[in-house]
């Protein structure tokens, strides 16, 4: 069972985080929901409190297959500054492992120097990253090498489905896409 780390930071975008965790689990992925700090009750951008299962402190890059960052500007700033997240991103990239981010969070990938040439993000966030290579809404999910990026709350399910396709396979992707009624996803 592939293992994916989803770090939660204060101010995370709740719908993106929960869509990613929920849909990836439906697809047969073991999702680790981890807090950046000792406090496990994390308040999102819209005041929804999600409980992390543990802290990120003991997560090692050699035991996970992917790290995926939910968006929200508050959460993204924390992800861009957190030493554990930044270290894991660099280690995962050096090992050629999968990395993902949605909405504002590609900013945190850029901070770690792991964002590839082609990417997407929430509209206008590219101004804080770079306009070169920004793919806008041409695709719900942009894949460049080992890095997958997506746009925002409305593409979070589609993003999770593409991660299932990559880590688990076509069959699980098709089953879950049908199961969650997300026929609008590519």
Contact pattern from residue 60 through residue 99 relative to a second copy, giving x for each residue in contact according to CB under 8 A and a dash for the rest: ----------------------------------------
Residues 6 or more apart whose CB falls under 8 angstroms from that of 177 comprise 161, 183, 185
Closest CB 119 distance from a second copy, rounded Å: 16
Cβ proximity of 20 and 156 under 8 Å = yes
Residues 6 or more apart whose CB falls under 8 angstroms from that of 35 comprise 7, 8, 9, 42, 52, 54, 55, 56
Residue in 63, 128, 184, 186 binding a second copy, rule: CB under 8 A: 184
> By rule CB under 8 A, what count of residues binds a second copy?
33
Residue in 91, 153, 172, 175 binding a second copy, rule: CB under 8 A: 153
Residue 103 is a catalytic residue: yes
CA gap 112, 19 in Å, rounded: 25
Cβ proximity of 16 and 75 under 8 Å = no
21 binds a second copy (CB under 8 A): yes
3-class SS at 150? strand
Closest CB 33 distance from a second copy, rounded Å: 7
Cβ proximity of 36 and 6 under 8 Å = no
**For a second copy, which stretch binds (CB under 8 A), given 21-29, 54-62, 85-93, 165-173?**
21-29
Written as six digits, the tokens of 107 are: 């900013």
Q: Site residues (CB under 8 A) for a second copy?
A: 13-15, 18-19, 21-23, 25-26, 33, 41, 44, 46-51, 122-123, 137, 151-155, 157, 180-184
Catalytic residues: 103
């Amino acid at each position: 069972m592939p293992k994916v780390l989803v770090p939660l930071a204060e101010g995370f975008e709740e719908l993106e985080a929960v869509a990613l965790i929920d849909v990836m689990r439906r697809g047969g992925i073991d999702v680790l929901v981890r807090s950046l700090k000792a406090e496990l009750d994390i308040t999102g951008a819209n005041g929804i409190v999600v409980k992390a299962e543990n802290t990120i402190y003991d997560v090692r890059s050699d035991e996970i297959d992917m790290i995926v960052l939910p968006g929200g500007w508050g959460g993204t700033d924390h992800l861009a500054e957190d030493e554990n997240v930044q270290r894991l991103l660099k280690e995962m990239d050096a090992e050629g492992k999968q990395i993902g981010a949605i909405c504002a969070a590609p900013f945190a990938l850029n901070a770690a120097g792991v964002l590839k040439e082609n990417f997407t993000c929430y509209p206008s966030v590219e101004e804080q990253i770079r306009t070169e290579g920004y793919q806008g809404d041409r695709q719900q999910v942009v894949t460049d090498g080992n890095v997958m990026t997506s746009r925002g709350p409305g593409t979070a399910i589609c993003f999770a489905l593409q991660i299932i396709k990559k880590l688990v396979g076509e069959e699980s992707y098709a089953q879950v896409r049908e199961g969650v009624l997300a026929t609008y996803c590519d």
